[in-house]
């Protein structure tokens, strides 16, 4: 008797492997119709579950849950701290100036004490937000420097990571964690997003630019930011810091006149 077994992957829903088993039984002389017995052949098919379908989502979910819980705990603690001293002030148990100073002292210290409960995943977004605040405070709308810096960090570096993960099989010779696809995307998208943002602010009247001169300057700035992003210094300096800071210096020197 010949038995054909086909393996169907339950997640991908596609044919994976098929084989045939030849089982030899003595040819029976009589055939009987009878209820099924317990002596049946059973085949237990074992296959490895893909790593991406199990481990990665579990780890990512655990990381997200821990950071969310930590953030909620810190926000709740800050609310309790402020509410407590506000209540003490309203009941005239302490002076308002003393209450304000105590909140000033304790809030920062308590926030620092909460750092160990966060994962390293939070550091990148924290740097990202700090650079956004820095560009808003120092440059704001009247300077192309802040606009280009954010465009290179958000658009250029962000697209570079996406394209590098998908098409980054060819690595840079001096940095095996970076790819040609990511670096080229960094330059191209950083340049066009920067030009688009500059045009947007110029149309609103915040500054006027000589576009022929600006195109060459933005291309040079994009190239410099791309080189900095490709360097093997990620373990020393996060890309969310090195890329915008290098862009700020290059853009400031280019647009200061």
Q: How many CB atoms lie within 10 A of CB 189?
A: 21
* Per-residue pLDDT reduced to its tens digit, 24-67: 445 544 444 445 544 444 444 444 444 444 444 566 567 667 77
Q: Percentage of residues in the chain with pLDDT exceeding 90?
A: 34
**Can you give the residue range of the structural domain that contains 165?**
135-256
Residue 97 lies in a domain: yes
Residue 181 lies in a domain: yes
> Do 216 and 158 share a structural domain?
yes
Look at residue 217 in the predicted model and tell me its pLDDT: 94
- CA–CA separation, 123 vs 94, rounded Å? 37
Q: 3-state DSSP call for residue 256?
A: coil
202: its two tokens? 């110029």
Could you tell me which residues are beta bridge partners of residue 15?
8
Contacting residues for 183 by C-beta, under 8 A, at least 6 apart: 160, 164, 172, 226, 229, 230
Number of domains the chain contains? 2
> Do 142 and 110 share a structural domain?
no
Look at residue 22 in the predicted model and tell me its pLDDT: 45
Phi/psi at 6 (nearest 5 deg)? -115, 130
* Per-residue pLDDT reduced to its tens digit, 201-218: 999 999 889 999 999 999
Residues in the chain: 257
Residue 224 has pLDDT above 80, yes or no: yes
pTM of the model: 0.58
Mean pLDDT, the chain, rounded, equals 78
> Do 139 and 216 share a structural domain?
yes
> Do 251 and 142 share a structural domain?
yes
Residue 195 lies in a domain: yes
H, E, C per residue of 15-37: EEEEEEEECCCCCCCCCCCCCCC
Q: Percentage of residues in the chain with pLDDT exceeding 70?
A: 73
248: its two tokens? 């700020």
> Do 183 and 75 share a structural domain?
no
Residue predicted with more confidence, 65 or 84: 84
- CA–CA separation, 239 vs 131, rounded Å? 11
Residue ranges of alpha helices (H) inside the chain are: 51-90, 96-113, 123-138, 144-150, 157-167, 180-203, 211-230, 239-255
Least confident range from 61-65, 69-73, 250-254: namely: 61-65
Q: DSSP label at 50?
A: P
> Do 166 and 96 share a structural domain?
no
Q: DSSP label at 115?
A: G
Could you tell me which residues are beta bridge partners of residue 21?
3
Look at residue 190 in the predicted model and tell me its pLDDT: 93
Residue 11 has pLDDT above 90, yes or no: no
Residue 115 has pLDDT above 70, yes or no: yes
Contact present, 183 and 160 (Cβ < 8 Å) = yes
Contact present, 175 and 230 (Cβ < 8 Å) = yes
* Residue 51 CB burial class (10 angstroms; 0-12, 13-18, ≥19): exposed
Look at residue 58 in the predicted model and tell me its pLDDT: 62
């Amino acid at each position: 008797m010949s038995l054909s077994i086909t393996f169907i992957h339950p997640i991908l829903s596609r044919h994976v492997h098929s084989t045939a088993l030849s089982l030899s039984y003595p040819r029976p002389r009589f055939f009987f119709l009878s209820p099924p017995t317990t002596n049946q052949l059973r085949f237990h098919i074992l296959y490895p579950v893909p790593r991406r379908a199990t481990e990665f989502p579990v780890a990512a979910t655990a990381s997200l849950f821990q950071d969310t819980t930590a953030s909620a705990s810190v926000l709740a603690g800050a609310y309790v701290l402020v509410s407590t001293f506000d209540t003490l002030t309203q009941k005239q148990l302490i002076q308002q100036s003393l209450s304000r100073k105590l909140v000033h002292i304790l809030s920062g210290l308590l926030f620092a004490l909460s750092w160990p409960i966060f994962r390293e995943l939070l550091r990148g977004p924290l740097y990202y937000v700090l650079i956004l605040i820095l560009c808003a405070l120092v440059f704001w709308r009247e300077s192309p420097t802040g606009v280009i810096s954010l465009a290179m960090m958000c658009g250029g570096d962000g697209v570079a990571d996406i394209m590098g993960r998908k098409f980054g099989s060819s690595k840079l010779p001096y940095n095996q964690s970076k790819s040609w696809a990511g670096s080229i995307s960094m330059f191209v998208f950083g340049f066009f997003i920067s030009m688009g943002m500059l045009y947007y602010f110029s149309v609103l009247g915040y500054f006027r630019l000589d576009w022929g001169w600006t195109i060459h300057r933005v291309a040079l700035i994009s190239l410099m930011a791309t080189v900095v992003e490709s360097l093997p210094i990620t373990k020393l300096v996060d890309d969310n810091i090195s890329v915008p800071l290098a862009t700020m210096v290059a853009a400031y020197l280019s647009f200061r006149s």
